[in-house]
Amino acid sequence: MINPASPDPHTWVVVPLFNEATVISGVIATLLPHFPNVVCIDDGSTDDSLEAARAAGAHLVEHPINLGQGAALQTGIDYALAQPGCEYIVTFDADGQHRVDDAIAMVAAARESGAAIVFGSRFLDDRTNPGWMKRVILKTAVWVTNLTTSVKLTDAHNGLRVIRADAARQIQLQQDRMAHATEIVLQLGHTGLPWIEHPVELLYTDYSKSKGQSVLNSVNILVDLIVR
């Protein structure tokens, strides 16, 4: 068993990256003391994200054009699984809204419980305040997602997840935009492997809201679910 306070060499953190040059260095700096294996997938950024991530010490994979977050996640998962000793994969957002302490706790929960998948949920405690309208829209999205999958979650569109390697090998994402978040839940459900949810806090900063964590983005989640 790995001490949560010590670096975890058997977990890879996958960070999809698109035009996050102003914050990605700080995100990587918070991850590396605990997770020395961080891979950023630059998804066709037009700013200095790639250079910033390289300077911060992350592994890098580059998409020459923007393929979407689903494709970036799949590239990162494939990269991590190809590395010797990879036991768990953490999917982690580049915009600073996820907390490293939550990722550490989720990996520990996976190891202690034997769960192959740990889904982060902002709705299992009261630390996150998305606002009433966003909350209603996200809860509706959860309801729609739960109609289509065997995995009944309280928060279906949270990008903070821990996936054991045997489960990750069964993921083949095809969807872009927000539909990939439902697709990954569906595919993980099909594995039949045990899963749990874990409470997490999402940090809604002015920056993260400007990058897509707005009410409009939540509406787009519903649209993607309806039309896919």
Q: What mean pLDDT do residues 61-76 have? A: 96
Task: Give the residue with greater pLDDT, 59 vs 132.
Answer: 59
CA distance 53 to 55: 5
pLDDT value at residue 217: 52
Classify residue 172: in a domain, yes or no: yes
Torsion, CA 191, CA 76, CA 228, CA 67, rounded to 10: -160
Domain annotation covers residue 67: yes
Kindly state the helix (H) or strand (E) to which residue 88 belongs, with its residue range: strand 88-91
Confidence at residue 21, expressed as pLDDT on a 0 to 100 scale: 98
Lowest mean pLDDT among 104-118, 147-161, 166-180, 205-219: 205-219
For the chain, report the end-to-end CA distance as a whole number of angstroms: 42
Across 131-168, b (16+ Cβ under 10 Å) vs e yields eeebeebbeebbeebeeebebebbbbbbbbbbbbbebb
Domain assignment present for 3 = no
Whole-structure pTM value: 0.86
Residue 70 to residue 186: CA distance in whole angstroms:
14
Count of domains observed in the chain: 1
CATH number for the domain that contains residue 86: 3.90.550.10
Q: Which amino acid is at 150?
A: S
Would you call 62 helix, strand, or coil by DSSP?
strand
Q: What is the pLDDT of residue 51?
A: 98
Helix, coil or strand: residue 146: helix
116 has pLDDT over 80 = yes
Confidence class of residue 196 from pLDDT cuts 50, 70 and 90?
very high
Give the residue ranges of DSSP H helices in the chain: 24-31, 49-56, 69-81, 100-113, 132-148, 165-168, 179-190, 206-210, 215-227
Residue 219, pLDDT > 70, answer no
Q: What pLDDT shows up at residue 225?
A: 43
Q: Which long-range contacts (CB under 8 A, 24 or more apart) does 203-206 make?
A: 203/96, 203/97, 203/98, 203/99, 204/97, 204/128, 204/129, 204/130, 205/96, 205/97
Q: 94: domain range?
A: 11-227
Is 1 contained in some domain?
no
What is the pLDDT, as a whole number, of residue 33? Answer: 98
Query: Is 66 among the domain residues?
Result: yes
Interatomic CA distance for residues 108 and 130, integer angstroms = 26
- Domain contains 142: yes
Q: For the residues 111-125, what does the mean pLDDT come to? A: 94
Q: Does 4 reside within a domain?
A: no
**219/96 Cα distance (integer angstroms):** 22
